[in-house]
Amino acid sequence: MALLEIRKARREFITPEGGRLAALDGVDLDVAANEFVTLLGPSGCGKTTLLRSISGFETLDAGTIRLDGADLSALPPFRRPVNTVFQSYALFGHMTVARNVGYALEVRGEDRQARSRAVGEALEKVGLTGMGARKPSQLSGGQRQRVALARAIIGQPRILLLDEPLSALDRNLRQQMQIELKTLQHTLGIAFVFVTHDQEEALTMSDRIVVMRAGQIEQIGTPRTIYRQPKNRFVAEFIGETNLFSLTIDQIDAGLAHARTAEGLQLRLPAGGAKVGDKALAVLRPSDFTLSDQGIAATVTKAVYLGSDLYLFAQPAVGGPEIRVTARDSAQAPQVGAVVHLAYDPAAAHVLEAA
Amino acid sequence: MRNPIGWAALTAFSLGFFLFIYAPLLVIIGYSFNSNPVNMMIWEHFTLDWYRGLLGLAERVSDNNNRAAYIESTDQMFKALRISLTVAGCTTAISTVIGTATAIALSRYKFAAKGFYNGFLMLPMMMPDIVLGIGLLIFFVTIGMQLSLLTIIIGHCTFLTSYVFIIVQARIAGLDPALEEASADLGASEWLTLRKVLLPQLAPGILGGALLAFVISMDDLVITYFVAGTDSTTLPVFIFGMVRRGVKPEINAIATMMIVASVIIAALGLWLRSRKTD
């Protein structure tokens, strides 16, 4: 039995125009103990509504949420054994850091000694030892983030909910916190449900990613599955940079399908169960291509310098959309206007289930 | 690049502006130390006699000189002050509690006709004092209520609750709703959240509203004039009574003391605010 079981979750909002909008439209999700699950999707996809339904700040119109087999729906937020790290951190400005962190124990009525010991441990876990006497206003953004984290884990919740907690941090700090969060989750051994719209963040930290759109789950899988085998066009385009090819299969030969685009660009793909004449939508990531002596002839139209890599836009000679390619930067790297040949491993091409 | 002429003009304008605002107050403070009992526009010499007389520390100058008695007895003035403080104290307590509770209810709970209540709460503030005063008087007479301290307090509460409401509401509007959610999320019931998070966070607004209510209540003349009983003369009504028989030097001294008291209250308020907001 999963730690958290969400079944047929449905939540509608009334739009200002008076219409109905399903923020959650039949969502099923299981979260295992000690799992790091990320809810990923564009804004308005329902990921925050789902998170707030778990914490109790939203009430489902239909469906159930069970924790350890017990239905949560009758419990108000303050009785649910889950805690949240809020996007705005929501630190109490009139309290010291130590009192913020110890708040869960304070309202539970634990005595001062037990509290201060637990606060010390929690602050140590997030690397803020000795900061207890300060006020939140005296801390940097990253430190506030850690206080919010310490405050949420001190009560040993069954699940920690994180609502885009890293979105306010600058890039370096964000990357550092991503790694620290993952490590913390591992040492604490509690399940994390993390909401973000940042696909890179999701890929870095998650055990499983839940891709959502318009109140529905598009795909659930490990970061590698989501990236390498997206189920449909939306997931393919939302996660990472993508080249999408709309193809018709010409010929099948030894497990390889030979296919061509409307413009006549020829590609080879894993055949799977496809038949000659079928339409197919294929995904090739920019890193799947290599610059070679033969392959797809194309002209470089743009070259973006990324440090160790170059990000090239190449226009195939036969026409059609530009192909995006990452190439190692070097002195021989192609310039804008150069003609290159793009090679790829046909096995790397992923054919979408739903074209 | 600063334009020197523009800069000089701005400085002159600013000085002129502050002079315009504060000159009347400075004049009163100056005259309160003028010993000339007959014409205070003519400076005689520096004296503290008016203050001594008011506070009952010395025999009153006017009696000494056998001129007309300018001021009702010191006892009467202190009684008026006591009544004013009682009224202001009670009014502040009542309107702060009601105003704060209303502001929290209107911003945190959903119920029918919210906009209506919001607008309705502003109305007593915008109503001319004289209309409110007459209305209250007629109301008290109609229900057969004896005019007294109580009627003054009720009268003040009717419009001061709105002031507190508006100030506290502005503070709530600037508050992150996630603060209360965080408190609930960490296991605090609604009551604990109110006590440990919401009220401390609103404290500067509540305090500001309370101080404003206190100062306005202390100062109110028009409404008080209508609803005060014969035995409940407040300080403004008392001073108004004195002034009707001519502005006497003692008035300047009372005014000066009130200015000082107001400044002290305002400074206290600012100090408490700066301590509370983080």
Give the residue extent of every domain in chain A: 4-238, 243-351
Q: What percent of chain A has pLDDT over 90?
A: 66
Name the residue among B187, B189, B203 with its Cβ closest to that of A104.
B187
Whole-angstrom distance, CA of residue B229 vs CA of residue B96? 25
Q: Give the pairing type, strands A159-163 and A82-85.
A: parallel
pLDDT at B146 over 50: yes
Q: Do B278 and A78 touch (CB under 8 A)?
A: no
The per-residue pLDDT for range B235-258, each reduced to its tens digit, is: 999 888 888 877 777 888 888 988
Q: Do B185 and A55 touch (CB under 8 A)?
A: yes
| DSSP one-letter code for A155 | T
* Cα separations in angstroms, A306 against A100, A289, A303, A340: 42, 17, 9, 19
Each domain of chain B, given as residue ranges in start order, spans: 4-64, 74-246
Average pLDDT score, chain A: 91
Q: Which two structure tokens, joined as six digits, stand for A42?
A: 């564009």
CA atoms B112, B113, B118, B123: torsion sign:
negative
pLDDT at B48 over 90: no
Within 13 Å, how many C-alpha atoms sit on residue B5's CB side?
Answer: 0
The answer to whether residues B148 and B79 touch, using CB atoms and an 8 Å cutoff, is: no
Q: Do B203 and A93 touch (CB under 8 A)?
A: no
The answer to whether residues B70 and B250 touch, using CB atoms and an 8 Å cutoff, is: yes
Among A99-103, A138-142, B68-72, the range scoring the smallest mean pLDDT is B68-72
pLDDT confidence band for A211 (50 / 70 / 90): very high
pLDDT confidence band for B1 (50 / 70 / 90): low
Considering only CA atoms, which of A160, A21, A141, A6 is closest in space to residue A72? Answer: A6
| Per-residue pLDDT at A221 | 95
The per-residue pLDDT for range B106-121, each reduced to its tens digit, is: 988 877 788 888 888 8
* A78 close to B (CB below 8 A): yes
- Most trustworthy range by pLDDT among A219-233, A253-267, A307-321, B232-246: A219-233
| Per-residue pLDDT at B59 | 58
Alpha helices (H) in chain B, listed in sequence order: 4-31, 49-54, 61-64, 74-108, 114-126, 129-142, 149-173, 177-185, 190-193, 199-219, 222-227, 235-243, 249-276
Q: Do B187 and A94 touch (CB under 8 A)?
A: no
pLDDT at B32 over 70: yes
For domain A243-351, give its CATH number from 2.20.25.190, 2.40.50.140, 3.40.50.720, 1.10.1670.10: 2.40.50.140
Please tell me whether the overall predicted TM-score, pTM, comes out greater than 0.90 for this model: no
- Contact residues on chain B for A55, CB-CB shorter than 8 A: 185
State the average pLDDT over residues A22-44: 93
Whole-angstrom distance, CA of residue B115 vs CA of residue B98? 18
Among A22-31, A253-262, B220-229, the range scoring the smallest mean pLDDT is A253-262
pLDDT at A322 over 70: yes
Tell me which architecture the domain covering A4-238 has in CATH.
Answer: 3-Layer(aba) Sandwich (3.40)
The per-residue pLDDT for range B55-83, each reduced to its tens digit, is: 777 655 444 444 444 455 677 888 899 99
What fold does the segment set B74-246 form as a domain? MetI-like fold (1.10.3720)
Among A83-97, A284-298, A320-334, B8-22, the range scoring the smallest mean pLDDT is A320-334
Interface of A with B in 251-280 (CB under 8 A): none
| Per-residue pLDDT at B72 | 57
Q: Which residue, chain included where needed, has tokens 């002159």?
A: B12
How many beta-carbon contacts under 8 Å exist across A and B? Answer: 73
Whole-angstrom distance, CA of residue B15 vs CA of residue A319? 74
| Per-residue pLDDT at B70 | 46
Q: Give the pairing type, strands A191-196 and A4-14.
A: unpaired
pLDDT at B276 over 60: no
First CA to last CA distance, chain A: 35
Shortest distance, CA B120 to any CA of chain A (angstroms): 25
pLDDT at A309 over 90: no
pLDDT at B84 over 70: yes
Torsion of CA B3, B8, B11, B16, to 10 degrees: -140
| Per-residue pLDDT at B44 | 83
Among chain B, residues having any CB pair with chain A shorter than 8 Å are 176, 178-179, 181-189, 192, 196-197, 200-201, 203, 276-278
Q: B186: nearest CA in chain A? A: A104
